[in-house]
Structure 1
Amino acid sequence: MLYIEFTDNMRYDTLEACHRNAFSFFGGVPQEVLYDNMKTVVLQRDAYQTGQHRFHPSLWQFGKEMGFSPRLCRPFRAQTKGKVERMVQYARNSFYIPLMTRLRPMGITVDVETANRYGLRWLYDVANQRKHETIQTRPCDRWVEEQQSMLALPPEKKQYDVQVDESLMTFDRQPLHHPLSIYDTFCRGAA
């Protein structure tokens, strides 16, 4: 099954947000996620030995939290990189270019929000309903079988907004350093 999301930057926090949105769309987390060799994913290929890459630490931690293992496309290998590239090409030719062609004459700007709104409808109505050439079935039908191999979504971490009342921050300031003779006074008074 296909999922797309448009962004206006390539920062790591955006990548993680897109992952969370995709996992929510699919209703689970895959055991492995296949990546192209982008800097927000991998810092150094084969850093430790062949096939042992140094991943972006935030992505590695995120994978552990969500339960998936990151996997990289092998450079210059059509079998893995082609899977990623074909999906991008399909989305561009079947969705993005027709959307631009349809909306531009009406004076509608195709920004990130517009592309994502129309893109979600396209996923449900077109991309996941068509007969896929490789698997010879509709992705939505195949998804029924594949969904069982997904890991459950981990419970959401609750974020709490802490508001500090300014009146709590006001207090008399006393110096923390005193002459040593003051301690002699305390000791004599306690005796």
Structure 2
Amino acid sequence: MTVYTQDKKPVKLYFITFVLSHSRYKYVEWLDRPFTTKDTIRCHEKAFEFFGGIPEEIVYDQDHLITVSENAGDILLTGQFQAYKQERGFRIYLCRKADPQTKGKIENVVQYVKKNFAKNRVFPNLESWNEKCVAWLNRTGNYNIHNTTKKRPVEVHAVEKQHLRKTPKMGKIPLY
């Protein structure tokens, strides 16, 4: 996504989003370069910290940072991500290509972030942008009543959080 500085200079940004299925509680992180698998793993850790735990199952779009291939339901993950998945012990559900029903929740979050956080906002620097995004999530993105659930994600998350697994310290997988 392209955003603009105070001087109207364009800056290309990339972001990753996570959303808890029941509460629709969201987490977003931005980079000024394309994500790597290591970035994706680091962002998972930050999302788990933000959510207060790890879900049992994570749904993914087919992404080259996570998967190498998928054949008749058999998923071949990248080596780094396979090691991470084993370390953290969550299940994976991989969305089918061009299937909006399995991607709907996350695609809605992507559009919501683009239109309600990033659009018309001035980009100062990456650190400030990420801080402002988390503040926006706390103030608006996770606070406003969700169109589908008719509830505030922050309130539903308070109950959903009790069902997340604790996030133990990482053992073998280096994050940085």
Structure 1-normalised TM-score? 0.72
Report the AA paired with residue 147 of structure 2.
Answer: E
- Structure whose residues are more often helix by fraction: 1
- Corresponding residue for 2:139? 125
Given candidates 16, 26, 44, the residue that maps to 1:2 is: 26
Deviations 1:3-59 (A, max 9, x none): 00001222111111111111111111111111111101110011xxx2111111211
- Corresponding residue for 1:142? 156
Max Rg structure: 1
Query: Closer, same or farther in 2 for the Cα pair 1:45/1:110, shift >3 Å?
Result: farther
Aligned partner of residue 5 in structure 1, secondary structure: strand
For residues 30 and 110 of structure 1, what CA distance do their matches in structure 2 show? 34
Structure 1 residue 157 displacement after superposition: 4.2
Asked if 1:68 is matched to 2:90, the reply is: yes
Asked if 1:114 is matched to 2:139, the reply is: no
Report the AA paired with residue 41 of structure 2.
Answer: E
For residues 124 and 92 of structure 2, what CA distance do their matches in structure 1 show? 32
For residues 143 and 52 of structure 1, what CA distance do their matches in structure 2 show? 32
Asked if 1:19 is matched to 2:44, the reply is: yes
- Corresponding residue for 1:163? none
2:144–2:153 contact (8 Å) kept in structure 1: yes
Report the AA paired with residue 83 of structure 2.
Answer: Q
Structure 2-normalised TM-score? 0.78
For residues 73 and 111 of structure 1, what CA distance do their matches in structure 2 show? 33
Report the identity percentage: 30
Asked if 1:152 is matched to 2:172, the reply is: no
Mapping of residues 86-105 of structure 1, within 5 Å: 86-99=108-121, 103=122
Which stretches of structure 1, 4 residues or longer, exceed 6 Å deviation after superposition? none
- Corresponding residue for 2:7? none
- Return 5+ residue gaps in structure 1 as ranges: 104-108, 159-191
Report the AA paired with residue 27 of structure 1.
Answer: G
1:67–1:151 contact (8 Å) kept in structure 2: no
For residues 98 and 138 of structure 1, what CA distance do their matches in structure 2 show? 25
1:131–1:139 contact (8 Å) kept in structure 2: yes
Query: Closer, same or farther in 2 for the Cα pair 1:13/1:151, shift >3 Å?
Result: same
Structure 1 residue 156 displacement after superposition: 4.2
For residues 58 and 129 of structure 2, what CA distance do their matches in structure 1 show? 24
Q: After alignment, is 118-127 or 2-11 more displaced?
A: 2-11
**What is the count of residue pairs matched by the alignment?**
148
